[in-house]
Chain A
Amino acid sequence: MTATAAPARLTVGIVKFASCDGCQLSLLDLEDELLDVVRKFDIVEFPEASTSRSPGPYDVLLVEGAISTEDQRREITELRSKAKTLVTIGACASYGGIQALRNWMDHDAVRAAVYAHPEYIDSLATATPVREHVKVDAELHGCPINQDQLRELLASVALGRRPQIREEAVCLDCKRRGNVCVLVASGMPCLGPVTQSGCGALCPTFGRGCYGCFGPKELANARSLADSFLVGREPADVGRLFAGFTAYAEPFRSIVTEMGGIRMDPTGPASARPARGGNA
């Protein structure tokens, strides 16, 4: 990905741990704007897109994926020392992602249930966000991250300004767009009021409750929202509504732990009925 060198481009590395790869793809999805990006940034390490590699150091290191194995733990620590600015991209790196659901379960039982030869699988008991291992300078949230936010991050790094990422609930974007609230008008459970905006209220725009994939917003009052969902639902069903891509982030984590909804032992009987409506 190295273009002909322009003077003093910032070096960028993009690496991946336990994740689906979709966040890295957001960079490539910039399509025509990719040329502007490459003019300003020298992308020296991006295994997804190029065979040319660099061991660092990096001015900016974008990290996708949760830390799920011992090797990954070692690698992120080493990478941290080579990166001036480390930015996690996506729900996995920032919050642990869907993988973090195993943090509530019996690790050995999960391994045995999924793999025919679990003795070959060397994973940690928990899948955790990058910040639990190294200092993180900034986080981009979302599953996947939002292209506009990525562009804003890159522009801010290039210009030396504070990125303008609004810290507000999904509801503001939903209302700015003129959407009718699915919670109030049809009783569909939606995590929008406690979730950080960034996707432009994508799911509610299509008549479907928010999953919370951008993670809890600042001062998220998940308890109050969960209490309102309890009307006409079992606690385990409500817990399951919060057990999604950012389940491991507080305050969602506490709700999941208290209300249940995750089968603690994957080989045992189901601990609750499937959820009604919304997030099924």
Chain B
Amino acid sequence: MVTGTNAAEALALDNATRAAALADGAAQPKSGPWFLLRANLQVLIDELRADGRKVIGPRVEDGAIVYSEVTTVTDLPEGWGDVQDAGQYRLSRRRDRKLFSYNMGPASWKRFTFPPVVPLNIGRREGREVTFEPAPLDPPRLAFLGVRGCELAALGIQDRVFLGGPYTDEDYRARRAAAFVVAVNCTTAAPTCFCTSMGTGPEIRGGHDLVLTELDEGFVVRAGSAAGADLLARLPVKAADAGQIFRAAGAIGKVAATIGDPLPTAGLHDRLLAQFDSPQWAEIAERCLMCANCSMVCPTCFCSSVTQRSDLDGHVSTSERVWDFCFTSSFARVAGGNFRNRPRDRYRQWLTHKFATWIDQFGTFGCVGCGRCVAWCPVGIDVRKELMSIAPPLAACPETADCKPVAASPTEYATARIRSIRTETGDVSTLVLGDVDSVFVSGRPGQFAMIALPAYPPMPISISRYLPDGIELTIRAAGPATARVIELGAGAELGLRGPLGTGWPLEQAVGRDVVIVTGGIGLAPLRPLIDAITAQRPRFGTVRLFYGARTPSDMLYRTELERWARNSNIEVALSVDRGDERWRGPVGLVTQLFDQATWDGSRAVGFVCGPERMMQATAESLEERGLSDDRIFVTLERHMECGIGLCGHCQMGKLFVCKDGPVFSMAQLGQVFGREGI
């Protein structure tokens, strides 16, 4: 123990010892374990700052330990600890002088890698031209000091979400790459901790640049990366002795023993999903305030929304990504209503995502066991207790989505020009777009594009026809944004991203009969499918199209319907919900057109699009005609903001409608289709 000696001398002594040890060929690997005296911790901070990094670490502020800038060791919470439980958190004074003997506070590192507000792009509209300028990517160089095992695991989880799929978030990547991680092993635990159950701690095993374990007199240090080893070489460390290594390991071991295993997770995925109808969800909803605190403090929650801030003329608009939460009212809202209205459904969505469907999407649990949601819930809802109550243990499967062709992220937009607009019905028009990127033209029937106009929220619209040099979009003026797009007029530009999503699997229908059932504007995403069928008509058997509209004047593409019937050997049957005196055709739900039919559907493939309830009724009727559920395909609509599965809004159970769909087979949807509140 070096006391009262000149620090520089001590440094020289340590370095000499180490150099000597290395020269002796003593087997001390560059990565450690080394020992850093408490007095020398400042050197670590200084070296990081010398590298041009701002050091972010724990500080006592406003009655809690939060993460903000640290320049000297005196900024750190020496001698501070905390007492926490469900819905409660208080700082406490310890009798020792340790710097890291606190447990998780309300802040997480997500604040720096996935900030609450991030500008995405600036859209400008001058006359008919539109431009979209992505926001510059210039993240600050940071060093995170004091990252715990659960927090490292959380960073790893968000890495998978934002960087591991077919679409990535470049802002996240840049910020993550610009952060140096100094992890710290936990030497205390709170009653709210359960990292042991989630397999994320307490011991740190990877993902760090440096890791420290605190003892009274200093830190056992190891490097976890080349960058960490480089920094370590500049620190006044000496080889850790056996006693120090033993005490460090012991401290961590004691923490694990203290926590135990509060939430056995074996088989939790299946157990939890089997409890979709548990009455416990409603019971929790009576206590839950829907205030979003649990998600805001959670280090892995990643759902976001996009907001537009524009001037009064709509000429310049900044698009920003902000933290959002699946419990807010507009999260699952679409033009016709809201898919998740009841608090019990929203709570269920959050908990089953975190502990079950996250595994299907990303291969791990979404929870790291940090316990923040338990402590910071104003009414003290404890997810561990709830899970044990809903899905008690008796006695887990990753999936990946396929890659889709080129699509831009919400920071970029391609542009297209409107060549002409055709009015189809009272509130539906078709835009013919030219000057589109060639990628669009080779899209698949059933895919959609995200279209944008500065100052308006982006809209997902199905591509209703592919032309040799452009595409058509059939749009219903369901709200102010779509109404505005329809009013734009020929010659105006708009922003486009896509083609996105899965298409109709036409190849499964080759050699078979085809049944197409649709209502209202649902014919639009099916039109490219019909185009593809008519282009190679001999490859398919009997093709039947059943189309229902609200009234005769709400039917789309009337001339084409006649043409398909006449020229392409397609049996077209039309019905309306209410007829006028001139209507001599069937009146009633479109399924009536084949409910009483006698043709055999066991060799047929069905493609269905319309209001969800209609699609359900249709699927049932088609099954009665003999079609099997893995050959009935539907296309779904949900609230979409990014269109690429990174904002979380369009989730249905374990599926992202924008990325895994919007086309799904009935077999794929299984139980989630038509269930309330999914």
Contact A193 B378 (CB under 8 A): yes
Contact A224 B310 (CB under 8 A): no
Q: Of A39, A155, A169, A181, which is within 8 A of B310 by CB?
A: A155
Contact digits for B367-403, partner A, Cβ 8 Å, 1 yes 0 no: 0000000011111100000000000000000000000
Q: A194: which B residues are within 8 A, CB to CB?
A: 289, 291
Shortest CB–CB separation between residue A62 and chain B, in angstroms?
Answer: 16
Which residues of chain B in 85-101 are interfacial with respect to chain A, using CB atoms and an 8 Å cutoff? 87-90
Q: A36: which B residues are within 8 A, CB to CB?
A: 311-312
The reply on A268 being an interface residue by CB < 8 A is no
B323, closest chain A residue (CB)? A176
Q: B287: which A residues are within 8 A, CB to CB?
A: 221, 224
- Stretch among A16-24, A76-84, A92-100, A157-165 lining the B interface: A157-165
CA distance in complex: A65, B461 (Å): 42
Q: A193: which B residues are within 8 A, CB to CB?
A: 289, 291, 293, 378
Shortest CB–CB separation between residue A242 and chain B, in angstroms?
Answer: 14
Q: Of B117, B289, B308, which is within 8 A of A169 by CB?
A: B289
With A183-B378, A219-B343 already in contact, the answer to whether A161 and B484 are too (CB < 8 A) is yes
The reply on A4 being an interface residue by CB < 8 A is no
CA distance in complex: A158, B377 (Å): 41
With A160-B484, A181-B378, A224-B286 already in contact, the answer to whether A168 and B66 are too (CB < 8 A) is no
With A155-B310, A159-B455, A224-B379 already in contact, the answer to whether A166 and B328 are too (CB < 8 A) is yes
CA distance in complex: A220, B63 (Å): 27
The reply on B468 being an interface residue by CB < 8 A is no
Q: B377: which A residues are within 8 A, CB to CB?
A: 184
CA distance in complex: A160, B308 (Å): 14
CA distance in complex: A40, B377 (Å): 45
Q: A192: which B residues are within 8 A, CB to CB?
A: 291
The reply on B423 being an interface residue by CB < 8 A is no
The reply on A109 being an interface residue by CB < 8 A is no
Contact digits for A11-37, partner B, Cβ 8 Å, 1 yes 0 no: 000000000000000000000000011
Contact B296 A172 (CB under 8 A): yes
The reply on B532 being an interface residue by CB < 8 A is no
Shortest CB–CB separation between residue B281 and chain A, in angstroms?
Answer: 14
Q: Chain A interface residue count: which class?
A: 35 or more
Shortest CB–CB separation between residue B162 and chain A, in angstroms?
Answer: 19
Contact B111 A178 (CB under 8 A): yes
CA distance in complex: A194, B291 (Å): 7
Contact B292 A171 (CB under 8 A): yes
Q: A233: which B residues are within 8 A, CB to CB?
A: none
The reply on B668 being an interface residue by CB < 8 A is no
Q: B63: which A residues are within 8 A, CB to CB?
A: 180, 185-186
Contact digits for B141-175, partner A, Cβ 8 Å, 1 yes 0 no: 00000000000000000000000000000000000
Contact A228 B484 (CB under 8 A): no
CA distance in complex: A193, B89 (Å): 17
Contact B313 A40 (CB under 8 A): yes
The reply on B336 being an interface residue by CB < 8 A is no
Q: B286: which A residues are within 8 A, CB to CB?
A: 221, 223-224
Other than the given A193-B378, A221-B288, 8 more pairs (CB < 8 A) read A160-B484, A164-B457, A175-B292, A175-B323, A184-B87, A184-B376, A221-B287, A223-B286
